[in-house]
Amino acid sequence: MKELRIGIDVGGTNTDVAVVDQDGDVLAWRKAPTSPDVFEGIRAALVGVLSEVDGTAVGQVMLGTTHPVNAIIRRSGLGRVALLRIGAPATLAVPPFAEWPEDLVDVVRGPVEIVRGGHDVDGRVFVPLDGEAVTKFAELCRDVDGVAVVAMNSPINADHELKAVAILRGVLGEDAMITASHEVSGIGLLERENSAILNSALVDVARTVRDGLTGALADHGITAEMFFTQNDGTLMTADEAVRRPVMTIGSGPTNSMRGAAYLSGVDNAIVMDVGGTSTDVGLFVDGFPRESALAVEVGGVRTNYRMADLISVGIGGGTIVGSTSPPQVGPDSVGYRITEDALVFGGNTLTLSDISVASRRAQFGDPSLVGLTDDSVEEVLAHVDEQFGILADRIKTSRGELPLIAVGGGAHLIPDAIPGVSKVIRHDLSPVANAVGAAIAEASGTVDRVYSYDEHGREKCLNEARKAATAEAVRAGADPNQVRITRISEIPMTYVPGGSVRVAVKAVGQVLRSAAVRRPHTESRRIC
């Protein structure tokens, strides 16, 4: 039987791969430099692990990648997107693409139209949908790469979005890339609209990643089910990731957090993931990353994705240290060229890895090549240690001490004692915690809707939300017999009549082995 899982995490400096068996034991792992052709890095890391395990026993491959977010940041590989907003006349005051960076608008923006329609906050029709206007708009979308459809309050009632999507497909064909905003984001019109636009713009990027991974695996004779890791540390099928690529843009740090929780056996802790270029600091609660309650900016665009609450700084193993006094530390980094540029490897650039080796926090390369005085080394370390202390303090939600788990290839930079931290935990597999996190990840489903408790009763509404979240988890690949509810939150909406409550439910389950994941028919989302 194909009982092995491969977790792959593509970072800016290294590509990490780990092989995990059915009992969760890590059988093999490798790190390889992330080259300009990232699939070469994947192939190189696979060569290493497949020399230790049988590739024919691999049944599932989980990938976390920076491709989508890098495409947004670099403005490369993005598609041209037409936008249909259903919300006239109520939403005319703020135009689409408001506050977007101009260079990104130039790349992404296609035809834009605001038509009559949408629902009120209680799910009732606010204005009837102007189907004729939608049909006319569809004719303008024949030469775009994708279409984003966003209707007022569609997470509460998606009927107008679904009707508009049906009209668009009738004109453009069933294969047209159309994003309905309620499928990728929650409450908040402008943030949801931005999310839907980015999703459609990223489809070709996601398709390229899926096909590239398929090719890299085929080179090694691996035929396995493929999954992508999501922003919340869980999984979705590769085909679903092509349909909803924005759900994967923050997967790297969350992979590390899930891996840190798994390897340490600790349920609540701070995680510092130190890579070659940057450090991501987060907090996990009950084994899962704490989600941010704030809107998240991606490439200068305000969104409301489910993202881990993270603090990121330009401190990593490849961070360049200047020759000034006091020394300038970062934010520039040698990145994947560290084995060529760092002093300890015979290069000409002073990096934080050189400092760590010179101080004996790390043991690799040749420390005699650093050539710094002990005072100079201590001066840099004092600055870095202070930054780590500030980061640990900022991410906490209370004054009490928490353990801190150090992961990533640059985790040797983290000191053994930090103010406000009960202990610093390290693991032999911490350099590839991100790949381990991908390999052991579960599939999940989340719903975020408004229900009327007065009209239908609290228990009935919560049961409906649980069922909806479970169905989403199964669609993402979870075994229906192993799905469990991990989070329920209820927020009364006092400004909405009818005892309206915003309910968010998350369901998680082990990935169904060797079974095709079917996408059920999408039904209109209505108030309970």
Burial 96-109 (b: 16+ CB within 10 A, else e): bbeebeeebeebbb
Q: In which residue ranges of the chain is pLDDT below 70?
A: 1, 496-498, 513-528
Burial class of residue 479, CB neighbours in 10 A (0-12, 13-18, 19+): middle
Enclosing H/E stretch for 81: strand 81-88
Cβ–Cβ under 8 Å, residues 240 and 271: no
Six token digits for residue 199: 């999703």
Q: How far is CA 238 from the centre of its chain?
A: 14
Between CA 125 and CA 160 the distance in angstroms is 9
Which residues have a Cβ under 8 Å from the Cβ of 377 and sit 6 or more positions away? 355, 358, 359, 370
Between CA 221 and CA 22 the distance in angstroms is 21
Please report the DSSP string for 324-338 in residue order: SSSPPEEEEE-GGGH
- Nearest of 479, 505, 441, 448 to residue 232 by alpha carbon: 441
Q: For residue 497, what pLDDT is reported?
A: 67
Please report the DSSP string for 215-246 in residue order: HHHHTTT---EEEEE-TTS-EEEHHHHHHSGG
Between CA 91 and CA 109 the distance in angstroms is 19
Q: For residue 17, what pLDDT is reported?
A: 93
Six token digits for residue 282: 């987060």
Six token digits for residue 259: 């891996």
Q: For residue 111, what pLDDT is reported?
A: 97
Bond before 326 cis per omega within 30 degrees: yes
Between CA 45 and CA 33 the distance in angstroms is 9
Which residues have a Cβ under 8 Å from the Cβ of 155 and sit 6 or more positions away? 182, 185, 186, 187, 192, 448, 449, 450, 525
Six token digits for residue 351: 């990096």
Six token digits for residue 117: 């329609």
Q: Decide: helix, strand or coil at residue 279.
A: strand
Q: For residue 468, what pLDDT is reported?
A: 92
Which residues have a Cβ under 8 Å from the Cβ of 96 and sit 6 or more positions away? 83, 85, 112, 114, 193, 197
Encode pLDDT of 213-227 as tens digits: 999 899 888 889 999
Which residues have a Cβ under 8 Å from the Cβ of 505 and sit 6 or more positions away? 446, 447, 462, 465, 466, 468, 469, 485, 487, 488, 489
Residue labelled with tokens 């949408």: 118
Distances (CA, A) of 94 to 5, 85, 161, 190: 47, 11, 19, 9
Distances (CA, A) of 235 to 25, 85, 148, 305: 19, 30, 24, 15
Between CA 185 and CA 200 the distance in angstroms is 13
